[in-house]
Amino acid sequence: MGVLEVHDIAFGYGRANVWEQVSFTLEPGEVALLVGVNGAGKSTLLRCLAGWERLREGSISLLSAPLDKLSPAERSRMAFVADVPAFYDDLTAYEHVELLARANRWDEDRWDEADRLLERFGIVRFCDQYPQSFSRGMREKLACALALAMSPACLLLDEPTGPLDPASATILEEELAAAAARGCAVLLSCHHELEVLEPHHVLKLNDGTIEVLDGAVARDSSLWTSL
């Protein structure tokens, strides 16, 4: 059973499609990189996969159920870190954790995992502050920590390593690899070669279509110089 199944989806503005006939499947524990030049539609595709945009054609399923038919509890099996993470203005960093915990009825182990992630990403000593006071990199780390703490079946991330310093980017890659080892399907967009994470697939958006490549091409410098 695929965690995320995408069948011939299309999205566009006006009369023109940004991309069309996009199809792929992510199995439990698989990692995929989404690549393409600026303007290829990577962020738009991720928003569609997360249910934030309406498709023109095709279908998306999460754990074999149509994405648009899922209950809120079922939708919580997917986590999405957008290119510009949004936070509540009147909640501190740790109050965001508490909100997620209460909404999803976390057990003690999940609370412990959230605390571990905050410590790992170096956020703990800033948890009583409001995210709008954070740097862009700190906001990205908080968003990634919250998403990972949800222990989702599917995790989507839009350029998550872009705002991060090299050490934090390595930590994120290690945490994503660990999540995949536990069965999470991970899809992230990226513009540069990763240091730790080993993708199973590379999804290349080009001229309105998608090409599914073996993950080994992510170690080929020609892939990145062509973007």
The DSSP letter of residue 116 is: H
Asked if residue 39 is part of any domain, the answer here is yes
- The residue range of the domain holding 177 is 4-85+152-225
Asked if residue 80 is part of any domain, the answer here is yes
Predicted structure pTM score = 0.95
CATH number, domain of 202, equals: 3.40.50.300
Total domains in the fold of the chain = 1
Bigger pLDDT: 91 vs 218: 91
pLDDT tens per residue across span 171-199: 999 999 999 999 999 999 998 889 999 99
- Helices within 32-92 (DSSP H only): 42-49, 72-75
What is the spatial distance between Cα 54 and Cα 132, in angstroms, rounded to a whole number?
29
pLDDT category of residue 101 using cuts at 50, 70 and 90: very high
Tell me whether residue 30 is exposed, middle or buried, using C-beta atoms within 10 angstroms of its C-beta: 0 to 12, 13 to 18, 19 or more: buried
